[in-house]
Structure 1
């Protein structure tokens, strides 16, 4: 979405009185920020009398804006108190069907509170992602992120944030090496209990007589899910095998698994998208599911029930997760610091395992 600065009033200079904006064009929020020596997030909050800016800085911002004849654009004006609350919704890749399903549920929860929702797909480039977050911060009152923001978190400044599933392997390349997201002290957190879910899946496979259980992980950084799988197999004296895969590369990952361990009789997969690809990759090699190899995904996507064989999966209650996110967003908007919440996954047994 492209925004344009509001033109100056008739008869006035475009931007004069303060070093920064040339007279040949209208002043922008960046001109005001440069004139005062603060961030554009600070300018936004100062001009809309929002918390987090001291009185002296607010007055300097307002004075610079007056001298530059700067007027906030329509999107930034959405932050003004008393108008509809707008919540930013952050994902890293809308091509993953998990995000549209969750975004749909959150949009419904937000609509029930009378909120507007602005979706931002950050992509894989950390520099581009930081720019998109900084732009988003000017147009929303709070942010709900479906990924660990990690090193990208400062781009949102003092905007209150709810981070969902801030854990290793779920964010883009801008996240901290630890993968834990390192949220600000004021951020609200909704964790996903992946270790317990992995344990449920492995126990289900063992109970079904599977003994050579491998895992397809979303690389290149080892995920919390894969780490839990490795610990569980080690506890049972079994040798873990983790195959790394990029998003949507489940076919190749299944082929790599069979090459590395032809005797594998089960595979736990990082998400349903990779698991559906793995079903195809196994079939292409003449491997029957579940007779030869059992397959378990993680997410509970709608499409996982439509493939053949229907995918056994560790599902998340997406409406419930969205409701938690809306409740925490409401809390941080009111200046509260809510306690972290944890959402469980449920093993949904179908034909593949």
Structure 2
């Protein structure tokens, strides 16, 4: 049996035609319901397999009386951003009676792909932050909402993150506080979107910049500690620093304390993400914060649309979220 050559997703009607049965028989066979002979069930399963048909699990849920299950994909659960997002998404899903399965990709790309494939078979839809290329193959037939990552808008729903308003607000705040030598610690050698915006805004505001204004470090607490020490040696005239995320920024607070550099009188520190940990340190961390409850709301809305049959590239499946500046003690 040949697979359909069309690029359109295989439908239950395609399976019914290939197996020579009715649509209702396909539904009953794939849901292992009574009144379908073993021979017919095997023929339907074979047709569905040959056509790479993935049943609409939302429709299956209606047949079985069950609610949808979402897979939440994160790159590293040790980063507190992801537990905070997971908490919000789980609560929002729970209000609808939906379940959430967590998928932590880890550091091994091959293992990550296997985990995605395994979880995709157990859920109705996927939501998450995933590196480029990870969605391909594993989630080809799974309704998917991509959060702030490389995506094919022709295949997935997307929540884009616009960092510029939050970073602009931070630089405005630092400038009004008298800071003029603002550094940034990024998390990768290739400039992130956050660093690109930082560079452009410094140029727009006519603020000082040099290669020494930028550092690269792991996006971890220890990475932030080491980055603070390096910044003190590399560019001691710096009077403010923007960290790639709050975890790094909290590490920088410790690094500056060890170097007897006072925050914020000697140097102001701003993080990104607005994590709860920022309020548990002294001084409390000023952060470019994203509303994770609102982000979860949008994700749930998009999953609902996908399960209702809305398909990309419908513009309703592309949303944008922004950050706001939470001013605390560190800047």
Unpaired segments ≥5 residues, structure 1: 1-35, 39-44, 67-76, 167-180
Q: Is the 8 A contact 2:163 2:322 kept in 1?
A: yes
CA offset digits 1:145-193 (Å, max 9, x no partner): 1x14421111112101111112xxxxxxxxxxxxxx1324131111121
2:224 matches 1:250: yes
Unpaired segments ≥5 residues, structure 2: 4-8, 22-39, 47-56
Higher share in helix? 2
| Structure 2: distance between partners of 1:195 and 1:58 | 55
Deviation at 1:65, TM superposition (A): 5.2
CA offset digits 1:103-157 (Å, max 9, x no partner): 0000011011111111000112221111111111111110011x14421111112
Deviation at 1:53, TM superposition (A): 6.5
Higher relative contact order (CA 8 A, sep 6+): 2
| Structure 2: distance between partners of 1:331 and 1:78 | 11
| Structure 2: distance between partners of 1:301 and 1:37 | 51
Paired position in structure 2 for 1:81: 61
Count of residues in Structure 1 that have an aligned counterpart in Structure 2 = 287
Paired position in structure 2 for 1:90: 73
| Structure 2: distance between partners of 1:304 and 1:250 | 14
2:296 matches 1:351: no
Deviation at 1:303, TM superposition (A): 1.3
| Structure 2: distance between partners of 1:236 and 1:318 | 30
| Structure 2: distance between partners of 1:149 and 1:335 | 26
2:18 matches 1:56: yes
Deviation at 1:235, TM superposition (A): 2.2
Q: Secondary structure in 2 aligned to 1:352?
A: coil
Taking structure 2 as the reference length, the TM-score comes to 0.79
Taking structure 1 as the reference length, the TM-score comes to 0.75
CA offset digits 1:256-312 (Å, max 9, x no partner): 222220110100111110000000011111100001000001111111011000001
CA offset digits 1:63-119 (Å, max 9, x no partner): 3857xxxxxxxxxx9983322211110000000001000100000110111111110
